[in-house]
Structure 1
Amino acid sequence: MPEEPRKAARLDLSGFAPKGRAPALDPVQERASIEVGKRLGFDARAPVEKVDGRTLRRKNKSQMNMRLSLQTQNDFKRLVTEFDDADACLSHLIQLYRQSKA
């Protein structure tokens, strides 16, 4: 037996009002907050050199996807710039690893 279609849900959004922006900190308070964060070990505001991944792409290569921490990814991208491509860099790292185990 076919079921009867359910009635459409009616949402009452009349009481909805978007929240405004959070109040901005004054510059003195913001600098003080950043300094406290640095003393506690937070370095999210540290300058990070970004490398565009598109510059690392080469043709006739297979793709390998990995989940990495942002720091490891940035370190690898910086290191790759010293090689012809990512394949040469990774091959070199593997060779060094094997030599260290021998």
Structure 2
Amino acid sequence: MKAEDITVIDLVGKTSLADAMIIASGRVNRHVASIADSLVEALKASGLQTPKVEGMPACDWVLIDTGDIIVHVFRPEVRQFYNLEKMWGADRPNERLVS
């Protein structure tokens, strides 16, 4: 569906929520919805469990949780506002483990 500006972030060792996060952009709400719908259908067709999906009514930001991988599809303005790449990306300082 021609998602734009796709970023993959390795989450191994950063969180137990997932192993990877994929962040992509759609040009407008309808494009975000199309990307999300296509991804969900492809996941179902591949035999995986139906992923958890949030944000479809507004389609400013759609989150698709497959368990091991979390996919965020944003409109560009919303992506810039939340800036998940900075929060979860490689430039994030190492955290100390609390014993």
Please say whether Structure 1 and Structure 2 have the same fold, judged by a TM-score greater than 0.5.
no
What's the TM-score once normalised by structure 2's chain length?
0.23
TM-score normalised by length of structure 1: 0.23
Determine which structure has the larger strand proportion and give its number: 2
Q: Which has the higher contact order (CA 8 A, sep 6+)?
A: 2
